[in-house]
């Protein structure tokens, strides 16, 4: 297919010369006498290349170039400048033009400029295809990641999806536990049936039993009709019990019965109902500790923990940050109608250095905020929130997050201090252990425990 070229010049003779010459060399050519007319033509026919004079009556070639860039047009612009106006041509290139030719020009100069532009476009398309292929290879259902930590998750999900085994997903808030649960459902034999997600911590305790198991009319004051519970709604499908650690002890007994016998009883009824549901549960809590403390039933824990799966925090999969940023930028451009191309190098380094206490959810929010505030077509340092820009705050996540758990905060602080000591000593573990005032052996153990490379 021939490349399409639009020639824009207010001199009729020059338009005719270029049209004849370019058609002779296999190009499809249209011409316009003004930049204003060119904009309408570009909207209608989307040419591959635009050859425009810098000086024209009305809108100049520089203004045309800026407008095309503002609109996000794909056409590559080559400008023409008369003798003595090279500075204007350079200004046009700063505005987004690819190249320029001087008037009066030789035929070979125009053809060479076009061929260089064609080669550049071919490379751009190949790079884009490679990026898309690379991004696709890093996708697993709706999850994104190329780090080894995420590929371990993908492998477990792939194996577990085909069987009805109960899965307990553990991980910090914002790591994407529901996405893992959905992938388990979507890749398995139940994918054509319902996927029902329930946040056990978001439903008042007084209503939770009725919501999960249903009720009979008249079972309590507000029970004006029979109600099907969420477990029955998920029959032959999957129910995702998020924040399972919030489930009251009385309901833990009833959930255990569903898992053991495949039956449930609506509130106010005396007969059992059979139900075939795959249960996937998730928690941010340490359920083993809660079992020891008596706040979570041991028998239910072992029923849920048939196949444990831990979703890593974002700070342990920093390799995925650029990939996630690109994904959120592309998605928000579609959703918000923005035209952000990406993130500049300074901002990217800050995003990589930040500790992300809120994990992927926090990264998503930061990218969206930056895209809304960005005055350029790339996100810069100035567009990022202060907590991301302040290195100390990024490290001291206990001050930058809403986490109130002393246990989790202590781990974060300890890991932060170890990373800082290793940075200051250039990775010398013996020297780092002295700075931290712990034994070398203890440091090696903690480095392994935190997955510090």
What does the pLDDT look like over 176-217, one tens digit per residue? 999 999 999 999 999 999 999 999 988 888 889 999 998 888
CA distance 317 to 309: 16
pTM higher than 0.85 for the full model?
Answer: no
* Non-local CB neighbours of 185 within 8 Å, separated by 6+ positions: 161, 191, 195, 237, 238, 240, 278, 280
Q: What is the CATH number of domain 314-389?
A: 1.10.8.60
The whole-number pLDDT of residue 301 equals: 95
Regions in the chain scoring below 50 on pLDDT: 135-138, 392-401
Give pLDDT, residue 367.
94
227 membership: H or E segment, kind and range: strand 227-228
Dist. CA 119–CA 48, nearest whole Å: 12
Q: Could you tell me which residues come within 8 angstroms of residue 64 by beta carbon, excluding any fewer than 6 positions away?
A: 8, 35, 38, 39, 50, 52, 77
Assess contact for 92 and 62: CB atoms under 8 A: yes
H or E stretch including 99? strand 99-103
Three-state DSSP class for residue 308: strand
The CATH superfamily of 149-310 is P-loop containing nucleotide triphosphate hydrolases (3.40.50.300)
What DSSP assignment string belongs to 407-446? HHHHHHHHHHHHHHHHHHTTT-HHHHHHHHTS-HHHHHHH
What is the spatial distance between Cα 318 and Cα 449, in angstroms, rounded to a whole number? 17
Task: Enumerate the domain spans of the chain.
Answer: 4-131, 149-310, 314-389, 403-450
pLDDT value at position 395?
A: 44
Report the SS3 class of residue 254. Answer: helix
CATH top-level class for 4-131? alpha beta
149-310 has the same fold as 4-131: yes
Assigned CATH for 403-450: 1.10.10
The predicted-structure confidence for 252-263, as pLDDT tens digits, reads as follows 999 999 999 999
Model confidence pLDDT, tens digit, residues 309-353: 999 999 989 989 999 999 999 889 988 888 898 999 999 999 998
């Amino acid at each position: 297919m021939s490349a399409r070229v639009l020639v824009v010049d207010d001199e009729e003779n020059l338009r005719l010369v270029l049209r004849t010459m370019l058609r002779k060399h296999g190009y499809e050519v249209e011409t316009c006498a003004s930049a204003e007319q060119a904009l309408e033509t570009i909207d209608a026919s989307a040419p591959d290349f635009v050859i425009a004079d810098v000086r024209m009556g009305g809108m100049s070639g520089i203004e045309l170039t800026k407008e095309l860039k503002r609109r996000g047009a794909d056409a590559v612009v080559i400008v023409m400048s008369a003798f003595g106006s090279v500075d204007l041509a350079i200004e046009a290139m700063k505005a987004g033009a690819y190249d320029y030719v001087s008037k009066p020009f030789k035929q070979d100069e125009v053809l060479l400029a076009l061929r260089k532009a064609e080669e550049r476009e071919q490379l751009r398309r190949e790079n884009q295809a490679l990026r898309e292929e690379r991004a696709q290879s890093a996708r697993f259902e709706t999850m994104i990641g190329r780090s080894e930590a995420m590929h371990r998750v993908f492998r477990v999900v792939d194996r577990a999806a085909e069987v009805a085994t109960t899965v307990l997903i553990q991980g910090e808030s914002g790591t994407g536990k529901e996405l893992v649960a959905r992938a388990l459902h979507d890749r398995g034999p139940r994918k054509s049936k319902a996927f029902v997600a329930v946040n056990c911590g978001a439903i008042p305790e007084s209503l939770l039993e009725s919501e999960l198991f249903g009720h009979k009319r008249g079972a309590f004051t507000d029970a004006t009709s029979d109600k099907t519970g969420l477990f029955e709604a998920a029959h032959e499908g999957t129910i995702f019990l998020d924040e399972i650690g919030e489930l009251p002890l009385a309901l833990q007994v009833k959930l255990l019965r569903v898992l053991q016998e495949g039956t449930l009883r609506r509130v106010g009824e005396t007969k059992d109902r059979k139900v075939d549901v795959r249960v996937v549960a998730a928690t941010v809590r340490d359920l083993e500790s809660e079992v020891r403390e008596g706040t979570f039933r041991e028998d239910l824990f072992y029923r849920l923990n048939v196949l444990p799966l831990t979703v890593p925090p974002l700070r342990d999969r920093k390799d995925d940050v650029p990939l996630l940023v690109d994904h959120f930028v592309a998605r928000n451009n579609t959703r918000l109608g923005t035209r952000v191309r990406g993130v500049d190098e300074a901002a990217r380094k800050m995003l990589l250095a930040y500790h992300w206490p809120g994990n992927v959810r926090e990264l998503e929010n930061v990218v969206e905020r930056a895209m809304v505030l960005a005055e350029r077509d790339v996100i810069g340092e100035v567009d990022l929130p202060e907590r991301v820009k302040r290195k100390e705050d990024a490290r001291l996540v206990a001050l930058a997050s809403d986490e109130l758990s002393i246990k989790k905060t202590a781990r974060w602080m300890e890991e932060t201090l170890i990373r800082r000591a290793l940075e200051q000593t250039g990775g010398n573990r013996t020297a780092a252990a002295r700075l931290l005032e712990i034994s070398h052996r203890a440091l090696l153990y903690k480095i392994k425990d935190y997955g510090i490379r």
